[in-house]
Amino acid sequence: MQASGDGIFFDKDVIRDRNQNRSTLVCQNGVVCSSQPLASMAGVDILKAGGNAIDAAICANAMLSLVEPMSCGPGGDLFAIVWNEKQRKLLGLNASGRSPYEWDLNKALALGMKEIPIRGPLSWSVPGCVSGWATLQEKLGRLNLAKVLEAPIYYAREGFGVTPIIARSWSLSKEANTAALRTFMPDGKSLRFGDIFKNEDMAKFFEIIARDGAEAFYKGEIAERIVKFSKANGGRFSMRDFREHTADWVEPVSTNYRGYDVWELPPNGQGIAALQILNLLEHFDIGSMQPNSVGHLHLFIEAKKLAFEDRAVYYADMDFADVPLKSLISQEYAAQRVKLIDPKRAAQQVKPGRLKGSSDTIYLTAADREGNMVSLIQSIYYGWGSSFVPDGLGFCLQNRGQLFSLNPEDLNKLEPHKRPFHTIIPAFVTKDAEPVFSFGVMGGDFQPQGHAQVLMNIIDFGMSPQQAGEQPRVQHSESSMPTGRRMVDGGFVDFERHIPEETKLRLSYMGHKIRPGAGAFGGYQGIWRKSNPRRYFGASDPRKDGCAIGY
């Protein structure tokens, strides 16, 4: 790190290659793991003030909306898996929004579209985040939203220092609307590490939610302002879209991987892709291999390709589509599909199974002294979402509606009041009906790949929760997509640093297309739980600014 006349800077290469030997946090009373220290600290303060893990998670999420606004916020969607200690069961929450009633396939095709634009009003779906906060709070929380939002309101008004990795993404494009530029680039330039940022509009917004609850967002003042803004900017929102929005409790689904039950949420999200990958990998003795060896990576990449072809065809809003959920995550289906994996050769073309009925995100996890645990993920999709901020609200609207397909034959095709395919997925692990691990890995299409890699590191290779997130990762990209795109020539494989060039070379000999250079994939947080006495082991990804804080 070096100083200059107008700020403090850092060597990006050092950040990408920084020490990968953080200690795993261990505590007894409670812990919050997130991608920014103020969010983790605010969550722990809520625990100390008498709140539970649910209250802490909502507080941390609201704080991240302020300090990491390009990744998350009230303009986006939310999913959660909660271990409720009193009921001794897992609960799933789908707080993702739906498409506008006035936006459908015929209208999109009439505009000559082949895909929905990434930026702008036509990519908007109703933001579900605030309904997620309220639904979690009402059913499981101990405090009220006014108390939980105190710290985010304070820092929005008083300001905070921008952290280094978040600073690298603090730049909006020319596609952003005037309010977005005014809100997030107040001096007409990108913020940098160490700059102090304030968001008075977000403070006022949080105060409205603290006072009036989610009703203000979906039936009152905030909804009216967003709909007015939509009409003025070519969007399709109406008050009906907001009034009829609901966050829904759903049953998590699972598969067993070497004695551990791994839980994800059912579609419209992509969580079951992680279960499909694990079902395929269970047919191989992964634990006998070296982590990130040629054999290990080859099998993982091939399993990912197979799962993602099914993802492209079958994953959609289950209120609109006949998704063969049980078949997709069954061991019997995996036993048939695994026969397509050649242990010595990369597949260049992969077809989905024949079954009946055929970017940027934050993840956080929290646990409390009673034993409740929350796995929560929240996002506005691309960096800065749609790049549009409604006047005076201080947050970007998501562009999640971009993930609808415009092919009339696809299950994930655009339809009114329908949830789009979703990439953000929380995860949870139990063993013998006891909670073991609350975790997630942010990063768009990478997320199921990240879930599988973390779990292999822990279950197959015996790593600690912290070590499991620090290991170098690989990412396979350009699989077929639920938007209608199809994989060509087997896709590409990208690597993080510390994976030897010889490994890459040998994988290329097997037919994998290797992209040069080194990336950084995902952002992981995790809490491992042990009993008698109860202890929490918190882990936080060195690829992000955050940390695990417990007491």
SS3 for 461-480, per residue?
CCCCHHHHHHCCCEEEECCC
And the tokens for 512? 């994998």
Report the phi/psi class of residue 517: left, alpha or beta, with left for phi > 0 and alpha for psi in -120 to 50: left
**Residue 3's pLDDT is what?**
36
And the tokens for 349? 């073309």
Question: Per DSSP, what are the bridge partners of residue 4?
Answer: 7
Q: Is the model's pLDDT at 472 over the cut of 50?
A: yes
Q: H or E element: which one contains 310?
A: helix 294-314
Q: Using an 8 Å Cβ cutoff, are 28 and 538 in contact?
A: no
Burial of 81-113, coded b for 16+ CB within 10 Å and e otherwise, reads bbbbbeeeebbbbbbbbbbbeebbbeebeeeee
**Burial group, residue 258, by CB count within 10 angstroms (0-12, 13-18, 19+):** middle
- CATH assignment, 273-358+448-542: 1.10.246.130
Find where tokens 């082991």 sit.
Answer: 537
- The angle subtended at Cα 94 by Cα 93 and Cα 99, nearest 5°, is 160
And the tokens for 67? 């300090």
Distance of alpha carbon 415 from alpha carbon 7, whole angstroms: 49
Find where tokens 């039950």 sit.
Answer: 261
**Residue 14's pLDDT is what?**
52
Grade residue 357 by pLDDT with cuts at 50, 70 and 90.
very low
Portion of the chain with pLDDT greater than 70, in percent? 95
Grade residue 487 by pLDDT with cuts at 50, 70 and 90.
confident
**Residue 18's pLDDT is what?**
54
Q: Is the model's pLDDT at 384 over the cut of 80?
A: yes
Q: How do residues 114-123 score in pLDDT, each as one tens digit?
A: 999 999 999 9
Residues 44-67 have a mean pLDDT of 98
Q: How do residues 296-333 score in pLDDT, each as one tens digit?
A: 999 999 999 999 999 999 999 999 999 999 999 999 99
And the tokens for 373? 């645990």
**Terminal CA-CA length for the chain:** 31
The domain ranges of the chain are 27-249+361-403, 273-358+448-542
And the tokens for 113? 């579209």
Question: Per DSSP, what are the bridge partners of residue 141?
Answer: none
**Residue 358's pLDDT is what?**
37
- How many angstroms separate the Cα of 334 from the Cα of each of 19, 137, 276? 38, 38, 7
Question: Per DSSP, what are the bridge partners of residue 528?
Answer: 437, 537
Q: Nearest CA to 219 among 132, 130, 135? A: 130
Q: Using an 8 Å Cβ cutoff, are 120 and 386 in contact?
A: yes
Q: Is the model's pLDDT at 405 over the cut of 80?
A: yes
Catalytic positions are 361
Q: How do residues 171-198 score in pLDDT, each as one tens digit?
A: 998 889 999 999 999 988 899 999 999 9
Q: H or E element: which one contains 440?
A: strand 434-442
Residues 213-235 have a mean pLDDT of 96
Q: Using an 8 Å Cβ cutoff, are 159 and 196 in contact?
A: yes
Q: Using an 8 Å Cβ cutoff, are 456 and 531 in contact?
A: no
Distance of alpha carbon 335 from alpha carbon 297, whole angstroms: 20
Q: How do residues 145-154 score in pLDDT, each as one tens digit?
A: 999 999 999 9
Residues 490-494 have a mean pLDDT of 90
**Burial group, residue 461, by CB count within 10 angstroms (0-12, 13-18, 19+):** middle
Q: Is the model's pLDDT at 527 over the cut of 60?
A: yes
Q: Using an 8 Å Cβ cutoff, are 276 and 328 in contact?
A: yes
Grade residue 22 by pLDDT with cuts at 50, 70 and 90.
confident
Residues 252-269 have a mean pLDDT of 97
Q: At what angle do helices 447-455 and 271-281 cross, to 10 degrees?
A: 40
Indicate the average pLDDT of the chain. 93
DSSP-derived secondary structure letter, 346: -
Percent composition of the chain: helix, strand, coil (DSSP 3-state, to 5): 35, 20, 45
**Residue 478's pLDDT is what?**
85
And the tokens for 478? 């350009």
Q: Is the pLDDT higher at 359 or at 180? A: 180
Portion of the chain with pLDDT greater than 90, in percent? 86
Q: H or E element: which one contains 214?
A: helix 214-218
Q: Is the model's pLDDT at 6 over the cut of 80?
A: no
And the tokens for 108? 């999109």
Instruction: Indicate the range of 14-28, 150-164, 456-470, 475-489 predicted with least confidence.
Output: 14-28
DSSP-derived secondary structure letter, 517: S
Q: Is the model's pLDDT at 99 over the cut of 50?
A: yes
Q: Length of the chain in residues, anyone? A: 551
Grade residue 13 by pLDDT with cuts at 50, 70 and 90.
low
Give helix then strand counts, H and E, for the chain: 20, 20
* Amino acid at position 491, single letter: G
Q: Is the model's pLDDT at 351 over the cut of 70?
A: yes
- 350 Cβ neighbours under 8 A, 6+ residues apart: 305, 306, 309, 340, 487
- 454 Cβ neighbours under 8 A, 6+ residues apart: 439, 441, 468, 469, 524, 526
Q: Is the pLDDT higher at 443 or at 19? A: 443
